[in-house]
Amino acid sequence: MNKPTAAITAVGGYVPETKLTNFDLEKMVETNDEWIRSRTGIEERRILKEPGKASSDMAVPAIQEILRKKNMDPKEIDCIICATVTPDMTFPATAVIIADKIGATNAWGFDLSAACSGFLFALSTGAMYIESGRFKNIIVVGVDKMSAIIDYTDRATCIIFGDGAGAVLLQPSTDENGIKDSILKSDGSGRDFLHIKAGGSLKPATIETVMAKEHYAFQEGQTVFKFAVKGMADVSAELLERNNLTGDDIDWLVPHQANLRIIDATANRMGLAKEKVMINIQKYGNTTAATLPLCLWDWESKLKKGDNIVLAAFGGGFTWGATLVKWAY
Ligand code: UT7
């Protein structure tokens, strides 16, 4: 029996209404619109600011959009994989909270932590469950409420990140379209450059760690930038080569939205024209695990069955990778 191929058959997304613009940030830290736009490409980001709202509250409407589009009962979902670094709580997993909130009473689920590569890793994981033949309907959701872990007095991080959620439905493909290949990598020696110092088992939260702001994300931007430019471009080029493809064969690049300069470097390395690159960093900033599905969400109406799409990401860990998808609808 032939192994089924996993295909993305629907996309949903959600971003909060509240916008945090570069001009707002000018009033909060020593920065300016011109610097942020020229160094990152970001103009504004969305912030989930209602008290009592968490990552799951963004994932839920993203998944409900899929259920509406597919006229699907939540009870048909077999599994929810939630990629996030900002879970509602350290445990239980946000995936099971999402399942409860949407009424996916037949689903099992778990969270996957791979920072900005989380969605890519989760997509590959979900695809393997479909390919095994054991499951038919898998939701992969990338969600982050980065505003929960950002210090809005630290200009090195607060200008970059935003909140959002994007989800896809994975089902067995009815033709040759679907998820074709992935190259996924990690190097934990990169942990020094992008992390949260306290609140884990290494350094549990205390009054002192909170006073020292160690519960916020720390990033050594320049170092991460150098690794990201090389990592994302190299792995994308390797994926093309392994599949005997060139930039001409690719219809769309879906890059992690961390910095416009990293995106440009990857597109150049792949020999791709700018029109083939999905870029929405200007309006959402870096939403960590949500960037890739939010691109698919924004571009869904432009995608055609059979399009060759490369998704590429780089993030904390370090983690990085690229996935080749033949669009299925
Ligand atoms: O998504 C997960 C992975 N993360 C990434 O891929 C992010 C990678 N890193 C980056 O995108 C960039 O490193 C940043 C956007 C974070 C920073 O840009 P940069 O071009 O690397 O800036 P820099 O840290 O080298 O700083 C350049 C200058 C410095 O001033 P001097 O020393 O040249 O006078 C900084 O003090 O810009 C200054 N600066 C700022 N100025 C205004 C740093 N941050 C700011 C700011 N506003 N927010």
Q: What is the CATH number of the domain that holds 218?
A: 3.40.47.10
Instruction: Tell me, yes or no, whether 20 and 135 share the same domain.
Output: yes
Q: How far is the CA of 34 from the centre of ligand 1 (A)?
A: 13
Instruction: Tell me, yes or no, whether 192 and 283 share the same domain.
Output: yes
Structure tokens at 308: 């060759």
Q: Mark whether 195 is an active-site residue.
A: no
Could you say which of 176, 195, 212 is where a domain stops? 176
pLDDT tens figures, 117-157: 999 999 999 999 999 999 999 999 999 999 999 999 999 99
Taking CA atoms only, the protein residue closest to ligand 1 atom 17 is 221
Instruction: Tell me, yes or no, whether 129 and 258 share the same domain.
Output: no
CB neighbourhood size of 198 (10 A): 17
Instruction: Tell me, yes or no, whether 61 and 165 share the same domain.
Output: yes
Taking CA atoms only, the protein residue closest to ligand 1 atom 43 is 156
Q: Mark whether 71 is an active-site residue.
A: no
Number of domains in the chain: 2
Could you say which of 110, 144, 176 is where a domain stops? 176
Percent of the chain with pLDDT over 90: 98
Instruction: Tell me, yes or no, whether 250 and 280 share the same domain.
Output: yes
Which residue shows structure tokens 């996993």? 6
Instruction: Tell me, yes or no, whether 167 and 186 share the same domain.
Output: no
User: Range of 67's domain?
Assistant: 5-176
User: Is 2 a residue whose pLDDT tops 80?
Assistant: no
User: Long-range contacts made by residues 34-42, C-beta under 8 angstroms, separation at least 24?
Assistant: 36/159, 37/282, 39/259, 39/261, 40/159, 40/160, 40/259, 40/260, 40/261, 40/281, 41/259, 41/260, 41/261, 41/263, 41/279, 41/281, 41/282, 42/159, 42/160, 42/281, 42/282, 42/285, 42/286
Instruction: Tell me, yes or no, whether 25 and 171 share the same domain.
Output: yes
Q: Mark whether 79 is an active-site residue.
A: no
Q: Which atom of ligand 1 is nearest to the CA of 259?
A: 11
Could you say which of 146, 176, 206 is where a domain stops? 176
User: Roughly how many angstroms between the first and final C-alpha of the chain, as a whole number?
Assistant: 24
pLDDT tens figures, 210-266: 999 999 999 999 999 999 999 999 999 999 999 999 999 999 999 999 999 999 999
User: Is 1 a residue whose pLDDT tops 80?
Assistant: no
pLDDT tens figures, 273-322: 999 999 999 999 999 999 999 999 999 999 999 999 999 999 999 999 99
Q: Which of 116, 158, 177, 259 is catalytic?
A: 116
pLDDT tens figures, 171-187: 999 899 999 999 999 99
Q: Which atom of ligand 1 is nearest to the CA of 291?
A: 1
Q: What mean pLDDT is predicted for residues 107-117?
A: 98
